[in-house]
A and B are shown apart, each in its own frame.
Chain A
Amino acid sequence: MTQKLPSNALELAHLCKRFGNLIAVDDVSFVVPRGQIVGFLGANGAGKTTTLRMILNIVKPDSGEISVFGKAPEPVSLRQVGYLPEERGLYRRMRASATIAYFGSLKGLSRKEANLRARSLLEYFGLASAARSRIESLSKGMAQKVALIAAIAHDPDLLILDEPFSGLDPLNQEILEKLIRDKVQQGKTVLFSTHTMMHAERLADRIVIINKGRIRFDGTQREARASLPRRVRIAADTDLGFLRFAQGVTNATPPSETRATWDLELAKHADGRAILAACFERGVVPDHFEIAEASLHDIFIALAEQQGISP
């Protein structure tokens, strides 16, 4: 008899957590489907880390339910989870290979297996020569890689990364992004938190936005973009002020010192090509014309403004 695996790696239902008078997490619910990358977005202090700590059973929720692969988050079920905390989470004076083996052992690997995995993963990530180096002697990027290897040494099915790109240079950010994609290709699931929208935009299949402890958005990137009107960016060697009154334009911002184009916000379902037609009717040929979907940054700001909160 085969056991049907749950379709969601992680399910959170109505989680609440209060610290004294502060409501850190307020009725948070979302799911992380198997084999997907989910970006958990929010400003500093939004409640991301507390939510992640509750998932990992580090902090007990006041109410609500958490399910990791269909089970309550307990030491045994959490062995399927790899966790990378916001800061590196490493012992300064410990050697790189010993660090990986130690955390691998704590996640259930035998000592022999943990040592073997530490060695092979360090080699895979090009850190074989640093295996005997103490963490304090490694560069920030190398130490971050060691921490990441420690998180994945036991080959977890769900990887939870708290601000994994923080403090990494572009090259190491690229490497980390590749690793995340590779893991998903291997059938693993990734949940990562960030307050930098760029990474979520590039990686996430789904995004969850949290602010002041409440979920403000939960869905795919397409759904997120669809929640905000599209924009037209247009430039010409003549005044385009007439476009303020063009059909389907709800808001128009003229060029500024930092932007050379007019920025037109379109009404829902409005056709951007109507702007181009309006230009031609006036005999204006634009130098630049672009119909753009809203960025996650725009979405985040808009959500924050809608709810009267500061990001």
Chain B
Amino acid sequence: MREVLLIARHEYVKFVTRRGTLIGILLLPLIFGLSISVPRLTATPSRPQTIGFTVIDRGGHGYFQLVAENLKQAGEHRTRLALNSYVRQYGDLAAIQRAEPKLLATLEAPYGESLALADYERRGGAKQILAAISSHLAPDAPGFAEPDPRWRLMRPPAQLSNSQPEKFESAAQSYLSGGNRDAGPPLRYVVVVPENFGLAAGQESSVEIWRDASATGNFPAFIAGVFSNELKLQALGRTGVERKKLLLDVGRVAAIRERSAAVPVEMGAANSDRLKNLLPGVLAYLLMFSVLSNAGMLLGGVIEEKSNRVVELILSCTSATKFMAGKLLGALGSALTMVCVLVAMATVAAAAFAPGGLSLVSAMGDLPLYQYLAIAVYFITALLIYSSMYLAVGSMMPSIQDAQSFVAPMMVVIILPFFFISAILAAPNGPVASVLSWIPIYTPFVMMFRLPWNPPVMEIVGTSLLIISTTVFMVIQMGRVFAANVLASDRPPTFASVLRKMATRSTEASG
């Protein structure tokens, strides 16, 4: 054991004092920082673009006007919610509550709440409300800016509204693609309400939405809401209830108001959630970084030791197994040191530059213990598997040039799970993520990404057992390859012979 620790210490010192390691440790946070800050610095603040649309009411039953009214209400809802944020940021809430007892409840009511909108309108809208509470706003508060409307309703062009059904598509295409457009926002949607829209027998209860291919967003949901409500109102109207009253009732929204006991706890909980989602992924990237850094060093180190016969000196003092164990231990120690240094640097940077950053870091203590255990298992096993593979390949190569031809394909195999990150994050417990989790060489990376989304406990336990047993198998097998080939000075092996050697024990090399 003494020899293993001596070799481990030697490898550790060799790695952590390497200029490349120090540069890497400094560069990684710099690259992270730049990747976050550059887009922020270079981005020009932009407001969402207003999207134009039109409504063709085939039957002329007033649906254009219906959409226009709903659009106006949607705008008022948005303005009300923006005013709510503004008041809570710059207002003296206690004084406002005393002066206008129901105002705050109206402002914070959820989007679409009909009673809140009615109260808001009764108070005269944003301008009147601001005038009423102006004495309770901070003196240095900036002026309130109403949000731009998301959608603008435009009169349908005559050529479009008068076009025959068989020619409608080409006419719509012409307008939606930007042709035949007058001044105003680009026309992105055309809503077509059929002549016989309604609930009665023989009537159509659907509307068509034609859209520009590039149009995205929740406009269709808005239109669906408008016409769904209209159908409900038509149905309820048959009971004889006044439409105005129905409008108010149909527009009620059950408000769910979240409350927390105290601000610091709420802050911590939020940070814990953010950290919970961030940490495993960040560690997976760090794992990749350490694997690639260590692998290069281990590979180069073995080849150097072979070429200058240091390996003979070492093997005259200890066995090849202990030699490899020392190397693995040293690599593990240097990787953990690298992670610790990077986390420490992140902590300092967070404390110094990021608002609330320190509480984010201190929230690390809130993570569940099993996640720490799982991260430790995945991290250590991945390092051991990949490091032992690189050591085995290094032991078979007479020169670094020969080794390079093997390194590239190995890298591709190792980083393969990173090509699936978007699929994993889109469905962390979906089939792609689950299948990749059970491929041992990918288990650590994939599972570390999945941890925040609570994969089934059986999967965590199962994959942990799988990766531990795989690690034991790989270290033993690669250890045999290492021991059998580390003295070899033959010609560079072929891919086939390397695979053969890795699959079976090989003979010792002649000297």
Contacts and interface: CB of A to CB of B under 8 A. Distances in A.
Interface of A: 19-20, 22, 24, 49-50, 53, 56-60, 75, 78, 81, 83, 85-94, 102-103, 105-107, 150
A94 B309 CA distance: 15
B140 to A, nearest CB: 61
A103 to B, nearest CB: 6
B110 to A, nearest CB: 66
Nearest to A111: B6
A102 B7 CA distance: 9
A87 B309 contact: yes
Contacts of A103: 313, 317
Interface string B292-319: 0000000000001100111011111111
Nearest to A22: B510
Contacts of B508: 19, 59-60
Interface of B: 3, 6-7, 10, 14, 304-305, 308-310, 312-319, 487, 507-511
Contacts of B6: 102, 105-106
B510 A19 contact: yes
Given A75-B319, A103-B317, A106-B318, A83 B510 contact: no
A86 B314 CA distance: 14
Given A19-B507, A56-B316, 17 more contacts: A19-B509, A20-B507, A24-B511, A53-B487, A57-B315, A58-B315, A59-B511, A75-B3, A81-B316, A83-B312, A85-B309, A85-B313, A89-B310, A89-B313, A93-B14, A106-B314, A106-B317
B310 A83 contact: no
17 contacts: A19-B507, A22-B510, A24-B510, A50-B510, A56-B316, A57-B315, A78-B317, A85-B312, A87-B309, A88-B308, A89-B309, A91-B310, A92-B304, A92-B308, A102-B10, A106-B7, A107-B317
Nearest to A57: B316
Nearest to A54: B511
Contacts of A59: 487, 508, 511
Contacts of A75: 3, 317-319
B135 to A, nearest CB: 74
A-B pairs, 7 with minimum CB distance? A106-B317, A85-B309, A49-B511, A19-B510, A56-B316, A58-B315, A85-B312
Contacts of B487: 53, 58-59
Nearest to B5: A105
Nearest to B301: A91
Contact of B313 (A20, A49, A92, A150): A150
Contact of A53 (B308, B312, B319): B312
Nearest to A82: B316
A90 B312 CA distance: 11
A64 to B, nearest CB: 15
